[in-house]
Amino acid sequence: MPNTKSAIKAARQNIRRRVVNLKTLEAIRKATKQVRKFATAGSKSDAAQALSAAFASLDKAAKKHIIHKNNASRKKSRLAKLVAKIK
């Protein structure tokens, strides 16, 4: 348990930040899942739109330091490669 006033406040801030960060991570997961769903279905136009949304959510998370920029880059690369394979 935190003992000092500053540690108590920091614990409160961490809880609030965690909630926001989890929402951002959930947005990433939903966006990537959409891309994969459309890619397996073979719908290239829908997959491309979902890919754009996934890129946006990954870039926002990387900008806020929720995920590392290389992690975002790797995920974007793999999703783009998946969509490019659709005929």
Helix axes of 69-84 and 5-41: crossing angle, nearest 10 degrees: 10
Superfamily of domain 5-84: Ribosomal protein S20 (1.20.58.110)
Name the nearest CA neighbour of 24 among 67, 55, 53. 67
Q: What is the DSSP letter of 4?
A: S
- 18-75 pLDDT tens trace: 999 999 999 999 999 999 999 999 999 999 999 999 999 999 999 999 999 999 999 9
CA distance 49 to 52: 5
Name the nearest CA neighbour of 37 among 25, 23, 22, 54. 54
Predicted model pTM: 0.85
CA distance 83 to 43: 9
The ranges assigned to domains in the chain are 5-84
